[in-house]
Amino acid sequence: MRFYSRARKPKVWFLAVFALAAAAALFTLHYFGGESRAVWGNAVLSAFFFLSAVSLWVAFVHQLQYCPYSYNTIFFNGFALFILSLAITHLYVTVSCILRPDSFREEQILFILLHSAKNYMLLTTPFLLIFSGALLISNLRLIRHEGFRFVNLLGIMLAFLLVAGEAVIGFLDYRSSVSGSSPLLLNMLVNLLAAFYLYFECMIIGSAAADIIAARYRPDHDKTYLIVLGCGLKKDGSPTPLLAGRLDAALRFREEEVSGTGFRPCFVVSGGQGRDEVQSEAASMSAYLTSHGIAQSEILREDRSVSTEENMRFSREVILKHGTDDRTAFFTTNYHVFRSGIKAEQAGMHSEGVGAPTRWWFWPNAAVREFVGLLTEHKGKQALIALSLVAVYALLTFYAYA
């Protein structure tokens, strides 16, 4: 599978058609289904959710082929797993209805849907515990190597929130099951918290998958420009190990392209000068490349940028002054590829990323920082999805306890 190999953007409007068809079938069964309503109702929902999950995964693959660096990549894959769990649940209930027809009623369909977010939390608890444990271990190792700083606590904070969220929702759910007072209010609180938790859990899973796919992808060796993103210098102005890793990845890629095709792509070194840096990152990277046998004529400098967004935007300007940007690749650290690709897209550049390796204990915390950065963008789309989930579970709760 190759990135940017598909001309048309994937659409998921047909999910609304599936939903309308399922709603019409459930409405018909409710009034005309007779004693078999529970069996056929669960069968309809199982088929609907299976079709929806498969459709989202197909859309996910098509999105990678159309434009891999997109929030749709996160949404499609992240929520497909949850929808698949709904399909399996209703399939199980369908079989149970057939084997034990007196044990299930039509009303139980509503309660299965109502508790789906909470049940998904229980289903994924082992994954969340392992994930949280890995974050804790990697962050403790990171603090040991780099010292106690706030950014080095992000992974620990996320691990605590994940485990605490599970514990709080589990406790409130227990209270709602044994309390005889205000069951509607307690269940409403449990279901709304579970809906928020579901959203962020799907985002975490989707983001992790997108990060891994983007970091492991290897572009074709047909590039005309290789953009290296800056990330800080040592006190003497030389590249840090993290930046040197990016430069080495670009050098290896160029060597492979030269040996395979004979074409010699140009480097674009991108990075301005920080307040505590003796020279610009672009100048430092240029010196590093020339020390590894690259001619100055094969290096273009972009020395104004102070962020990934500016890296991409200003690099494109430099490239357009020199030629075209039709075949570019950018080089950054593995955890940073996906978000950098989004910034490249926003700058109007279809560029494929190559991830340089980093130490295992650095990746999880850095990935958490990237995840937090992703959450701060596209607030409108994210708010729409999160609030839609909350609204659905609020309506289901009201209807169930009316």
Q: How many domains does the chain have?
A: 3
Query: Are residues 321 and 234 part of one domain?
Result: yes
Band (pLDDT 50/70/90 cuts) for residue 32 is confident
Nearest to 4 by CA among 315, 271, 329, 292: 329
Report the distance separating Cα 330 and Cα 247, nearest Å: 11
Looking at the structure, tell me whether residues 282 and 209 fall in a common domain.
no
**CATH number of the CATH domain containing 343:** 3.40.50.620
Expressed as residue numbers, the domain containing 185 is 119-216+368-402
Q: Do 238 and 190 share a structural domain?
A: no
Q: Find out whether 81 and 29 touch, Cβ atoms under 8 Å.
A: no
Same domain for 211 and 106: no
Q: Reply yes or no on whether the pLDDT at 180 is more than 60.
A: no
Contacts for 217 with CB less than 8 Å, ≥ 6 apart:
3, 68, 337, 352, 353
Span 66-107, pLDDT tens digits: 999 999 999 999 999 999 999 999 898 888 888 777 766 767
pLDDT winner (highest mean) among 4-18, 216-230, 324-338: 216-230
Please identify, among 114, 129, 155, the residue that sits at the C-terminal boundary of a domain.
Answer: 114
Number of H helices, E strands in the chain: 14, 5
Q: What is the pLDDT of residue 366?
A: 77
Confidence of residue 178 (pLDDT cuts 50, 70, 90): low
User: Do 373 and 359 share a structural domain?
Assistant: no
pLDDT digits (tens, 9 = 90+) for 302-334: 999 999 999 999 999 999 998 777 789 999 999
Q: What single string gives the DSSP state of each residue in 208-261?
A: HHHHHHHHH----S--SEEEEE---B-TTSPBPHHHHHHHHHHHHHHHHHHHHH
Same domain, 125 and 102: no
Q: Are residues 291 and 355 in the same domain?
A: yes
Measuring CA to CA, which residue among 261, 333, 331, 258 is closest to residue 298? 258
Cα distance between residue 319 and residue 114, in whole Å = 54
The pLDDT score that the predictor gives to residue 397 is 85
Per-residue model confidence (pLDDT) at position 106? 67
pLDDT digits (tens, 9 = 90+) for 342-356: 999 999 999 999 999
312, 214, 225: which is closest to 3 by C-alpha?
A: 214
* pLDDT at residue 402, as a whole number: 66
Is residue 201 located within the same domain as residue 300?
no
- Please give the pLDDT value at position 46: 94
Q: What is the pLDDT of residues 123-162, one digit of tens each?
A: 888 888 888 888 888 888 878 777 777 767 778 888 888 8
Same domain, 378 and 324: no
The last residue of one of the domains, among 63, 88, 114, is 114
Query: Over the chain, what is the mean pLDDT?
Result: 87
- What is the share, in percent, of the chain residues with pLDDT greater than 70? 96
Q: Examine the domain organization and report whether 363 and 383 are in the same domain.
A: no
Q: What is the pTM of this model?
A: 0.88
Distance from C-alpha of 195 to C-alpha of 200, rounded to nearest angstrom: 9
* Of 70, 95, 114, the domain-final residue: 114
Report the distance separating Cα 144 and Cα 151, nearest Å: 14
Do residues 84 and 148 share a domain?
Answer: no
Q: Based on the domain organization, do 265 and 395 belong to the same domain?
A: no
Both tokens of 31, joined, read 């009034």
